[in-house]
Amino acid sequence: MESAGSIDYLKLQLVPEESMLCVTWLRGVSSAEYRQGLLHLRQVVLDHGIKLWFVDARRLTHVTFEDQQWIIKEIIPELLASSLQKFVRVVQPDVFSYITFEDLLRRAQQNYSLIGHVEQFTSAEAAMAWLQMND
């Protein structure tokens, strides 16, 4: 693995042989930090031809509705046009975080085809196994 630059609240690791990006959010962030982090991550995905993206979001706090709308408008379209094939997110085993992300996916699905490409888990091991599984 190699580092892909970082922001103090994000840990990024590239796995070039698998075209994989592994990201860990290191703490809860403000809306501005969240957006800055996602813009940075989007650029890393685009610059490195990332196909598999693993995100450990267990330390993230609630993502606001406004930030979700921003993701749907500003982040997802560019990622869909990229080489990204699969995205997996690891969350705390709390219903609110899980439902918030499912709601974001449902709204994004209304505009884009994401089925089979995005999942979330409460176990990093299960998430990585799904990500590396050949379809």
Judged by DSSP in three states, 98 sits in: helix
- Which residue bears the tokens 């840990």? 11
Q: Are 89 and 98 in contact (CB under 8 A)?
A: no
Residue range(s) defining the domain that contains residue 23: 6-132
- Total residues found in the chain within this entry: 135
Q: Is residue 67 part of a domain?
A: yes
Identify whether 114 is part of a domain. yes
Confidence of residue 135 (pLDDT cuts 50, 70, 90): low
pLDDT tens by residue, 7-21:
899 999 999 999 999
pLDDT tens track for 65-74 = 899 999 989 9
In a domain, 40, yes or no: yes
Q: 92 in a domain, yes or no?
A: yes
**Would you state the structure tokens that stand for residue 81, as one six-digit string?**
């046009």
User: Is residue 108 assigned to a domain?
Assistant: yes
- Here the CATH number for the domain that contains residue 57 is 3.30.750.24
For strands 52-56 and 2-3, give the pairing: unpaired
Structurally, the chain folds into a number of domains equal to 1
pTM: 0.87
Residue 1 domain-assigned?
A: no
Residue 124 lies inside a defined structural domain of this protein? yes
